[in-house]
Structure 1
Amino acid sequence: MRHSLRPLLFRPSGRLAAVVLLAAVLGMPGHSPSAEPSLHFGTWGYDADGGDSAVRPGDDFYAFANGNYLAKLAIPPDRPSWGVDQILAAQVNRQVRGILESEANPAPEEPADLQKARTLYRAFLDQDRVDRLGLTPLAADLAAIRQAETRADLAAVMGRSVRGFQASLFELSIDVDAKRPNRYAVIISQSGLGMPDRDYYLKPEFAAEKRHYRDYIARMLTLAGWPDPDRRADDILSYETRIADASWAAVEERDPNAVYYPATPDALAKAAPGFDWVALLDAAGLAAVHRVVVHESSALPRLAAAYAATPMQTLQAWAAFHLIDAAAPYLARPFTEAHFSFHDTVLQGEQEQPPRWEQGVALVNDAMGEAVGRAYVATAFPPRVKAEVTGLVAKLRAAFAERLRRVGWMSGATKEEALKKLSALGVKVGYPDKWRDYASLEVRRADLYGDVVRAVAFEWDRELADLDRPVDRDEWDDPPQMVDASYNPVTNMIELPAAILQAPYFDARFDAAANYGAIGMVIGHEMTHGFDDEGRAYDATGALADWWTTQDVRRFEARAAKLADQYDRYEPYPGVHVNGTLTNGENIADLSGVLIALDAYHRAAGGHRPPVIDGLTGDQRFFLAFAQSWREKRREQSVRQRVVSDPHAPDQYRVNGVVRNVDAWYAAFSVQPGDRLYLEPGARVRIW
């Protein structure tokens, strides 16, 4: 239940996400310099030419701050979105490319891992070799599916998915136990769908995507030589529709207590008959596990029943299709092109595949992120930045503590526990103190498919070894070259990777207002995740615990519901509404992050009025820098996917939806009744 600042398109931790290479490319994009606009931040940290003074700030602050920039910005044909954040990530990707393509070793104390990362990168770049192999790399895995004569056999194949490309109806993972946060637990979650969300199967507005998906299934089965591909595609789509109907909605999964259901394997088998749980766990190397945590407890019996009622011929075809779909980015061109045409063109609106080198960088970041991240830090992250940001974190923590003390709706007892949690909050800045060791990972220049399988197995074996060990709180989820920030409630820990600690988020040469409005808001946002509608369920140690009074819970929920209602009204396209409940945690964190950062900025001024720069007051500069950090254009297909499956609202609402609830913004820009964003003081949401 980790919270990321940005929509998470790059799996942060756990076993390698072999199925999301192209999504990883989008999460850490790079683009050719000729197509890439440069980033400008003026003299103090804000690109004033990018704003649109013809727009009244009270009508559309996002456009006022960013309108001219966005009017000129074109989304590259190989991207679902483009903007300041993606351009920064593109710059980082080019730096990583330089590391991977250089023979010089910037990290002499760990040359073996870096060289191994370069070998993996070169294996991916060798498109000709991959094309010559055709379907050959899949042969053994497809044979395992064909040889699975019973449902128990197929459950065992699913269990082996933790070590390769095979698919599973139930996802197995190892993570911190939410009620015993000093230990790890085996987690069992619903899975089995090939489209982004259950809504794609069940709602009429996604009927076109569903038809395209059926055709994509048939195309992949045809490429693999699977018999009767058209009929099997119909069967698979029907089966996945039953899976979707049985699965929990994304909103339901936002309740931390609802997704925590401990059980023994025997109890699980009794509660969800029709599926061979022993075969699944044994094949995953979990035969000795006596306790698991189930996420969607009421869904699993229905999923098991659907599995038991589905003909083996359909189940085998379903497993074969998902194997091919997962492996496609590492196979010959016909597979990669088919994969791209559905996942990226149909679902995201992209017209071209990213260059091969970008995809290779994404693979290395996913499989060996810390090996190349160590070299990235050595070349691109000055030590002084870590010290400066650490100091900024302390100021933001102090500002948040003061806000907590002033909260009028919370009782003293709950407030005391909240302050304890904030005090215990850990913040990791830049990079790990101890780097991951990839010595046991084998990488072969001529075996891309095998390399990725071995990388998946390496991650699973590493996590499996952790099961009987205390939780390592020093371990990082993200590599240093990730442009993002995150909060993990079960460790009560924030991560600020090195790559986000640069302009436009942070630069010591910027005016303080710009730094507080950008990286200050990011840090405040992540701090608030410990106190949003999900994070508030965890105590200072990271354990799920009831530390609120009943009355305080009711008061909090009333305020959170008021904010959700505001976001429900936002409509990026006619008939396409933001889901205020799904996005509520991020919306609370956005609003509170701005308030915390603004308070910290004022406290840092020591009671003095900041100077006017370029005709702008300190508060005006703060809000403009905040809005600038969300400059982005996104394709309609991507927006439609995001509103049903992503807990982050579209970027314009992460600005406009926030500032209209902040009193200081009204004063800074003289926002008056009649302005479109204006809310009466009593209608403004006040949580933290």
Structure 2
Amino acid sequence: MRLLVSLALAITAASAQKFTGFDATSLDKSADPCQNFYQYACGGWIAANPIPSDQSRWGRFNVLQEHNRAILQSILEAASTDKPTRTVVEREIGDYYAACMDQKAIDARGIAPLKDDLDRINAMRDRNALTGVVTHLYNLGASVFFNFGSSQDAKDATQMIADLDQGGIGLPERDYYFKADPKSVELRKKYVEHIARMFELLGTSHEAAAKKADAVMAIEMELAKGSLDVVSRRDPNKVYHKMTVKELASLGPDFDWEKFFAGTRTPQIQGLNVDFPPFIRALDSIIVQANIEDIKSYLVYHLVTDTAINLPMNFQQENFAFYGRTLSGTQEMRARWKRCVDQVDGSLPDALGQKFVERTLGEEGKKRTQQLVNGIEMAMQQDLEKLDWMTPKTKEQALVKLHGVANKIGSKSNWIDYSKVKISRDDPYGNNERANEFELTRRLAKIGKPVDKTEWEMSPPTVNAYYDPQENDINFPAGILQPPFYDNKADDAVNYGAIGAVIGHELTHGFDDQGRQFDAEGNLRDWWTEQDAKAFEQRAQCFVKEYSSFVAVDDVHVNGELTLGENTADNGGLRLAYMALIEVLGGKTPPKKDGFTVDQRFFLGFAQVWCEHSTDESKRLLAQTDPHSPGEDRVNGVVSNMPEFQKAFACKIGQPMFRYPACRVW
């Protein structure tokens, strides 16, 4: 179990461009800010920035992502030149990138790199060989049947334990397999057709490929039936079931777990968290009941899908045709260099990350961000002390937790050493396998050891931020410490509305419906009085109802339960940022700038962070899987609950941006 709550759907690092914290040209002044503030703040930007053909969603997050990716490209292009003066790190990332970029060589090899792995799968004669094959694929990074790794013990946050979770499906979420609406039925049909085409690319006849695709889908359907739904998975108590290996074996006796753990070089397991035990029973039933040839087909398909980027172009194009065009509405596959940059960032994140930090992270930005964090933490303390719905007993514990929050800004300092990973300029498939095996071994080696609190769960170029409830810390990678989130040339109002709201958002996550269940030490423990827990839940239900009323696309609404944590953090975070801004101003009223008051600029700075638009396919996908609300709802849903906004823009009760009664937890 690993519960990270982030600012946005993870974006990891077009051409570099100038950014500003506030852009007057992004406004749509024909819109009424009290009718639709998002349109007022972002309408101009949306009109001037159509979705690029290689994107399904385009917003200011994505613009910064592309800016960071261009920086990474320049780093990798320089490192990929085979010069004797390169450092060890430059040689690692440069050779990995060079191998990935050689599409002609990849095409010439065909599926030869897959041969040994395919032969191993096809050599299975019975279920007794299954564990060995699954272990081999797991070491290579193929995601089959389940997810296994290390995690903090939710009830002893000082220790790392083994963690076994559901997985093994190719559609985004379990409910995709069961929804009966026409679009969902059609999507499943297209998915099966996609699986069949992948088998045809391997040389399977059309008729045989169709049968194999049906078999893969049947196995995935059974895995999905045994899986926990995405909303229930947000409850940490529903994904914590600590047991022994012996108890696991009784749940799934037909898979040799001891052999799997030995084959993945897992240290001796004293305690194991099985996120959802019914899933293991469902997996065991599949192993017993499924035809061995069908299991082979399932393993082959997932191996090919997971390695498609390092296979000939026709595999890449087919993979994109379903996952990019059909599922997300993206019109064109991203350029090879972009995909290779992302692969290096995913496989060697610390090697590339330290070069990115050298290029971009300034001490002034880190120092200023820390000052903002300090001010917003003080605002939260004042807010907690004044809360009228929380009793002194719970309030005392909340303050202890707040004062225990650690801050990580910019990047880590103890970088991972990849010298044991063999990287070759002419073996992209092998590079990926060896990097995956190294990372799996590194993570599993943590089992049974104390938690290393210096670790980060995002690489430095990532345009995101997150709160970790099990470590009780907030994390701001270097990638997000740039305009439009932080601009050292912008006034306080804009910076507090942008990066200040981000900081407040992450801090509030410690006290949302998930975070509030963990104490100051990161342990899953109930520290609330029954009275206060009920008061929280009643207030939180206001957000559930509010956001469930928003339409994502067509007949699909925002899921107010899935997005509750993020919506709570958005609302609380902006309120904290505003309180901190007022404290910084010290009673002074700065003159208007660009025709806007300080309060107006604060709210505009916040809103313009979320300027974005998406394809209909992406909207539908995100509404079902993403715990974040769409950008428009993140803006309008928050400001309509804030009297300070209504005063700043002279909104009146009865107008859409004046919600009455307002929703508020923090």
* Fold in common (TM above 0.5): yes
Could you tell me how far 1:379 is from its partner in structure 2? 1.9
Residue 440 of structure 2 corresponds to 460
Deviates further, 267-276 or 85-94:
267-276
Preserved contact between residue 28 and residue 482 of structure 1 (Cα < 8 Å)? yes
Structure 1 gap segments, 5+ residues each: 9-26
Deviations 1:221-270 (A, max 9, x none): 12123572111111221221222222111001000011000011111122
- 1:69 aligned to 2:8? no
> In the alignment, which of 479, 489, 496 is matched to residue 516 of structure 1?
496
Could you tell me how far 1:153 is from its partner in structure 2? 1.9
Distance 1:391 1:674 in 2: 39
Q: In structure 2, what residue type is equivalent to 1:553?
A: A
Q: In structure 1, what residue type is equivalent to 2:116?
A: A
TM score, norm. by length of structure 2? 0.96
Equivalent positions of 1:431-510 (< 5 A) are 431-510=411-490
Deviates further, 182-191 or 141-150:
141-150
Deviations 1:468-487 (A, max 9, x none): 33111011111211111111
Preserved contact between residue 238 and residue 276 of structure 2 (Cα < 8 Å)? yes
User: Aligned with 1:162: secondary structure?
Assistant: helix
Residue 201 of structure 2 corresponds to 223
Distance 1:166 1:145 in 2: 13
Preserved contact between residue 223 and residue 279 of structure 2 (Cα < 8 Å)? no
Distance 1:254 1:152 in 2: 36
Preserved contact between residue 567 and residue 579 of structure 1 (Cα < 8 Å)? yes
> In the alignment, which of 11, 22, 32 is matched to residue 56 of structure 1?
32
Q: In structure 2, what residue type is equivalent to 1:432?
A: K
Distance 2:168 2:475 in 1: 30
Equivalent positions of 1:145-224 (< 5 A) are 145-205=121-181, 206-224=184-202
Preserved contact between residue 162 and residue 444 of structure 2 (Cα < 8 Å)? no
Residue 139 of structure 1 corresponds to 115
Residue 19 of structure 1 corresponds to none
Deviations 1:185-214 (A, max 9, x none): 111111111011112211123111111110
Could you tell me how far 1:345 is from its partner in structure 2? 0.6
- 1:114 aligned to 2:105? no
Preserved contact between residue 28 and residue 89 of structure 1 (Cα < 8 Å)? yes
Preserved contact between residue 525 and residue 590 of structure 1 (Cα < 8 Å)? yes
> In the alignment, which of 77, 81, 102 is matched to residue 57 of structure 2?
81
Q: In structure 2, what residue type is equivalent to 1:546?
A: D
Residue 665 of structure 2 corresponds to 687
Preserved contact between residue 484 and residue 496 of structure 1 (Cα < 8 Å)? yes
Preserved contact between residue 157 and residue 283 of structure 1 (Cα < 8 Å)? no
Equivalent positions of 1:226-625 (< 5 A) are 226=204, 228-286=208-266, 288-625=268-605
Distance 1:131 1:594 in 2: 51
Preserved contact between residue 267 and residue 447 of structure 2 (Cα < 8 Å)? no
Preserved contact between residue 427 and residue 495 of structure 1 (Cα < 8 Å)? yes
Q: In structure 2, what residue type is equivalent to 1:221?
A: F
Distance 2:218 2:383 in 1: 52
Deviations 1:35-77 (A, max 9, x none): x9x5553xxx311121112211121111010112112221111
User: Aligned with 1:531: secondary structure?
Assistant: coil
Residue 7 of structure 2 corresponds to 5
Q: In structure 2, what residue type is equivalent to 1:2?
A: L
Distance 1:136 1:583 in 2: 44
Distance 1:104 1:337 in 2: 26
User: Aligned with 1:102: secondary structure?
Assistant: helix
Residue 20 of structure 1 corresponds to none
Distance 2:31 2:461 in 1: 36
Preserved contact between residue 156 and residue 282 of structure 1 (Cα < 8 Å)? no
Q: In structure 2, what residue type is equivalent to 1:211?
A: K
Residue 28 of structure 1 corresponds to 12
Preserved contact between residue 141 and residue 166 of structure 1 (Cα < 8 Å)? no
Distance 2:288 2:180 in 1: 28
Q: In structure 1, what residue type is equivalent to 2:25?
A: D
User: Aligned with 1:476: secondary structure?
Assistant: coil
Q: In structure 2, what residue type is equivalent to 1:204?
A: A
Distance 1:166 1:481 in 2: 25
Preserved contact between residue 345 and residue 351 of structure 1 (Cα < 8 Å)? yes
Q: In structure 1, what residue type is equivalent to 2:664?
A: R
Q: In structure 2, what residue type is equivalent to 1:471?
A: V
Distance 1:190 1:152, change over 3 A: farther
Distance 1:103 1:280, change over 3 A: closer
Could you tell me how far 1:291 is from its partner in structure 2? 2.1
Distance 2:642 2:285 in 1: 50
Distance 1:160 1:492 in 2: 36
Aligned residue pairs, count: 658
Q: In structure 2, what residue type is equivalent to 1:298?
A: P
Deviations 1:170-193 (A, max 9, x none): 210112221111111111111111
Preserved contact between residue 278 and residue 287 of structure 1 (Cα < 8 Å)? no
Structure 2 gap segments, 5+ residues each: none
Preserved contact between residue 52 and residue 63 of structure 1 (Cα < 8 Å)? yes
User: Aligned with 2:221: secondary structure?
Assistant: helix
Could you tell me how far 1:678 is from its partner in structure 2? 2.5
TM score, norm. by length of structure 1? 0.93
User: Aligned with 2:149: secondary structure?
Assistant: strand
Distance 1:465 1:274, change over 3 A: closer
Deviations 1:92-150 (A, max 9, x none): 11111111111599xx9992022210110000000011111100011111111112223
Q: In structure 1, what residue type is equivalent to 2:42?
A: N
The percent of aligned pairs where both chains have the same amino acid is 35
Residue 21 of structure 1 corresponds to none
Distance 2:192 2:74 in 1: 40
Could you tell me how far 1:576 is from its partner in structure 2? 0.6
Could you tell me how far 1:297 is from its partner in structure 2? 2.2
Distance 1:132 1:7, change over 3 A: same
User: Aligned with 1:572: secondary structure?
Assistant: strand
Q: In structure 2, what residue type is equivalent to 1:185?
A: I
Could you tell me how far 1:273 is from its partner in structure 2? 4.0
Q: In structure 2, what residue type is equivalent to 1:602?
A: I
Structure 1 outlier segments of 4+, above 3 Å: 38-41, 272-276
Distance 2:364 2:92 in 1: 30
Distance 1:224 1:4 in 2: 39
Distance 2:285 2:267 in 1: 23
